[in-house]
Structure 1
Amino acid sequence: MTTVQSPPSAPPTGLRPRVVARTGLYVVLAANAVAVAVFFVQAGFAGSNALIVLGRLAGLYGALLMAFQLLLVARLPWLDRRIGMDRLTSWHRRVGFGLLWTLVAHAVFITLGYAQFSSLGPVDEFVELATTIEGVLRAIVALVLIMLVGAVSARFARRRLAYETWHFIHLYTYLAVLLAFTHQVTVGTTFTTSPAATAYWWTLWGVALGSVFVGRLALPLWRNLRHQLRVSAVVPESDNVVSIYMTGRDLDRLPARAGQFFLWRFLTRDRWWQANPFSLSAAPDGRSLRLTAKTAGDGTAALRHIPVGTRVFAEGPYGAFTTLHRTRPDTLLIAGGVGITPIRALLEELHGHTVLIYRVASDRDAVLYGELLELASAKGAELHLVTGPATPDKLAPEAVAHLVPDVCDRDVFVCGPPGMTSAVLRNLRELGVPKQQIHFERFSLAG
């Protein structure tokens, strides 16, 4: 469907928010890496052989990576809006494996280094260090916990574990952080030999742990106490899709944008402990919030039975899938299945000429299609409903170019099942759409 388009609006100018945030993180990490090296050299190497020196340096950089990991998953709004939880979580995972091998190197080099000074073998020296030096046993427990978390975070294990099980095991990381920090305070040469180094490490850990406290505990608690969300309506959209409307206090002061999502907890007797990520399916209007979910198991199937008036604890808003990252006046939105929910919210907020391609298996799978028709008509947008089986690819490069000849001159927002999203991203690259104009978020990584 095509109607008269609305006047185009100018895209944001200046440096892209994601570039600014990503560069800032790199600069912070590099500056701290230099600081660690400086304090390490200032502490000196008296009484150490090469293995002990390497082990100490590996331990210090392991502590730095551990603090950086905490920052990545602190869910600080400034970082999350610019980079996105999915990318931050992915970086956290990669840094985590680097941390694991750094700490293993620390333990191995320290053990072998001290073994050179004694008549003991490596295993006996390891036991000797653990039983005679304060703080070493705590460090060993921390390393074991990090190895356990690393094992369950490997792809082959993560795919076989329920999210709740994986998340519960992952919480042991905080215990590992505490044990590792007390080990560093107790026996860390660099920590204890210089007042400046001591102040640096206390500040580093204070910022890292403080960020987690603020982003993951204090801010969600404060927002929920302030806004007092409750379910105001539960509306079935189809046999397997339901929309939930929520109202609360001062929602005009909740910094949510179209395209973002929350981790929702509906505080009923059987659901209060479950947090599920659902995108807003309507642009926030300061009066209410709406999510739309498709049945994907017993948990989501029970959503249509939530009583009106149920209190809601919502963590968020999260995500960088917003108009903050626009670079062009005009936009192409591509949605697949229930991935239409954040796309529908974006359509409501966008200015300039917009084309929406909605990919579904059949007409009856087109969730919220009536609303899309009304929105497209009101905003002068083009709406294309593309139906049919997954193969052949109906969003192949030539198909997209036929529907949107000026695709390379538009921002493109993509949301859908992982397979479809990956295929569309490949097709857009083949069409020559610049990378900075392609926006997507892998919501399966939320939480």
Structure 2
Amino acid sequence: MKPLLLIIAYLAAVTLPLVLSWFFGGPPRLIHQELASGLGILAFSMILMEFVLSGRFKSISNGVGLDVIMRFHQVMARTALGFALLHPFLYRGTPSGGQRPWDPTRQLTITTDFSALFTGIAAFLLLPSLVLLAVGRTHLGYRYETWRLIHGIGALLIALLLLHHTTYAGRYGSQPAMTWVWLAMTGVAVGSLLYVYLLVPLRDKTRPWLVTSVTQLTPKQWELTVKPKGHSGLDYNAGQFVWLNVGHSSFSMKENPFSICSAPGAGPEISFMIKELGDFTRTIGQIPAGTFAYLDGPYGHLTVDGRTEPGIALIAGGVGLAPLIGILRQMRLSGDPRKVKLIYGNRVADQIAFRDELAAQDVVYVLSEPPESWHGETGFIDTALIDRVFLEQELSEWVFVMCGPAIMMDSVEDHLIERGTPTHRILSERFDYD
């Protein structure tokens, strides 16, 4: 029910200004002018709601999954862009010029005063740029923290420009009651930014962590472990993740999401399985013990706690093993009697992590580039392998938890649904989006 409630809440929030504008508005105009105003109102309210759909609010993302929230964030941003781009062109035929003597309240005409229109024109030009930078960020070569800063400042600037344009150039936004509505909604959006960039770092500053060890697991994979300093630690479920900041101020943009690979029942120390990929991860092996770290979390719904299925299927691709081995460790510590099967795929044999620890599990190893001496599965984690590993009853009754490359998860999810696995028994979470 939670996803449905979130959708209802979202629709109510973005349509509220439209409904109130109709209530407070004046006499009707030509249909294309009313449509233009309606699209502009919806675009602005959707843009303001994008601040809340940032993925950093646990009450929203933990219930339905970060990947669902972020995908919804993307779709709504592109929809708002479409509405915003159409908005000015539908005012065709609107009389030009300033205020009319017969319309002192601007109920029938729209102002063309440049001071009121300029902010709308600026937002009209900035919004496509912001969306395109977000869509192409992985291909542009700049750092994640640089993109995040640009994205946050750009979104804030667009919101403020649209607030001015709506309240000074809009027929409905200039109504006193609507001006207060837009001010309140913009305040919520700005408050969301302040929460993420100011309040959360302030809270994290009072709850520091210390790096206790950095252990090499494979040639390019490491296990980093931190312990709480001066506090009791983090209350989390196996399979969740945090935003990890190592060696920087709590206000630094240099934080990244990493899944927790330790078990809550093992004590206050928390471990992360990290692969060398970006600027931070390439230097992971050089981090000395005693380095300060900050954790923002936990986030995510990739957990089997409280579920009643008779068995758990874990499907990992590469470093996607991290949250799944955390689940295995917690099940072992708690004496969980449920059956478990793990499919673990990698490119080559020396990428297999925690091999000794996994020896006691029912594990199917898969290599896409196996050595001649390899006797396990070869190729990729595909639909044929799923059918070989799991029985018909397991496909319909077990819970399936997966983490890894998006192409693997998309293929496995589609196949499980085709084989009759209910969607509420398929758990996955992605950190990469197009």
User: Normalising to structure 1: TM-score of the pair?
Assistant: 0.80
Structure 1 counterpart of 2:299, from 310, 315, 318: 318
Equivalent residue for 2:416? Answer: 428
State the alpha-carbon separation in 2 of the partners of residues 30 and 268 from structure 1: 39
Aligned runs of 1:174-253 on 2, under 5 Å? 174-195=156-177, 197-222=178-203, 224-249=204-229, 252=232
Structure 2 counterpart of 1:437, from 411, 420, 425: 425
Higher relative contact order (CA 8 A, sep 6+): 1
* Conservation of the 8 A alpha-carbon contact between 1:227 and 1:249: yes
1:258 aligns with 2:241: no
Structure 1 counterpart of 2:341, from 345, 352, 355: 355
Structure 1 counterpart of 2:400, from 412, 421, 426: 412
Gap runs ≥5 in structure 2: 100-109, 371-376
Report the CA distance between 1:369 and its aligned residue.
1.9
Aligned runs of 1:289-438 on 2, under 5 Å? 289-323=270-304, 326=307, 328-350=309-331, 351=336, 352-373=338-359, 377=360, 382-389=362-369, 393=379, 395-405=381-391, 406-438=394-426
Structure 1 pair 54–422 and aligned structure 2 pair: CA distance change class (3 A): closer
SS of the counterpart of 1:113?
coil
Matched-pair identity in %: 23
User: Normalising to structure 2: TM-score of the pair?
Assistant: 0.83
Write the letter of the residue equivalent to 2:339: H
Structure 1 pair 179–33 and aligned structure 2 pair: CA distance change class (3 A): closer
Gap runs ≥5 in structure 1: 1-18, 119-128
Structure 1 pair 40–215 and aligned structure 2 pair: CA distance change class (3 A): same
What CA deviation, in whole Å up to 9, does each residue of 1:49-83 have, x standing for no partner? 44432222222111211122111115111111112
State the alpha-carbon separation in 2 of the partners of residues 307 and 441 from structure 1: 31
Structure 2 counterpart of 1:95, from 54, 76, 80: 76
State the alpha-carbon separation in 2 of the partners of residues 143 and 73 from structure 1: 22
Write the letter of the residue equivalent to 2:316: A
Equivalent residue for 1:4? Answer: none
Structure 1 counterpart of 2:22, from 25, 30, 41: 41
Equivalent residue for 2:104? Answer: none
Structure 1 pair 44–258 and aligned structure 2 pair: CA distance change class (3 A): same
Report the CA distance between 1:286 and its aligned residue.
4.8
* Conservation of the 8 A alpha-carbon contact between 2:241 and 2:259: yes
SS of the counterpart of 1:246?
strand
Structure 1 pair 183–424 and aligned structure 2 pair: CA distance change class (3 A): same
Report the CA distance between 1:108 and its aligned residue.
2.0
Aligned runs of 1:45-84 on 2, under 5 Å? 45-46=26-27, 48-73=29-54, 75-84=56-65
Superposition RMSD on alpha carbons, in Å?
A: 3.1
State the alpha-carbon separation in 1 of the partners of residues 399 and 55 from structure 2: 29
Equivalent residue for 1:121? Answer: none
What CA deviation, in whole Å up to 9, does each residue of 1:239-259 have, x standing for no partner? 221111111146645233222
Structure 1 pair 111–177 and aligned structure 2 pair: CA distance change class (3 A): farther
State the alpha-carbon separation in 2 of the partners of residues 134 and 325 from structure 1: 58
Report the CA distance between 1:306 and its aligned residue.
0.8
Write the letter of the residue equivalent to 1:342: P
State the alpha-carbon separation in 1 of the partners of residues 269 and 31 from structure 2: 63
Write the letter of the residue equivalent to 2:290: G
Structure 1 pair 251–397 and aligned structure 2 pair: CA distance change class (3 A): farther
Moved more, 168-177 or 315-324: 315-324
SS of the counterpart of 2:12?
helix
State the alpha-carbon separation in 2 of the partners of residues 408 and 132 from structure 1: 64
SS of the counterpart of 2:290?
coil
Report the CA distance between 1:151 and its aligned residue.
2.3
Equivalent residue for 1:126? Answer: none
Equivalent residue for 2:103? Answer: none
Report the CA distance between 1:87 and its aligned residue.
1.9
Moved more, 185-194 or 364-373: 185-194
* Conservation of the 8 A alpha-carbon contact between 2:240 and 2:302: yes
SS of the counterpart of 1:287?
coil
Report the CA distance between 1:207 and its aligned residue.
2.9
State the alpha-carbon separation in 2 of the partners of residues 88 and 47 from structure 1: 37
* Conservation of the 8 A alpha-carbon contact between 2:368 and 2:379: no
Write the letter of the residue equivalent to 2:64: I
Structure 1 pair 179–229 and aligned structure 2 pair: CA distance change class (3 A): same
Report the CA distance between 1:163 and its aligned residue.
4.5
What CA deviation, in whole Å up to 9, does each residue of 1:333-367 have, x standing for no partner? 11122211111011123432222222234443211
SS of the counterpart of 1:254?
coil
Moved more, 412-421 or 383-392: 383-392
4+ residue segments displaced more than 6 Å: none
Structure 2 counterpart of 1:146, from 121, 127, 138: 127
SS of the counterpart of 1:114?
coil
SS of the counterpart of 1:358?
strand
Aligned residues: 406
Structure 1 pair 134–267 and aligned structure 2 pair: CA distance change class (3 A): same
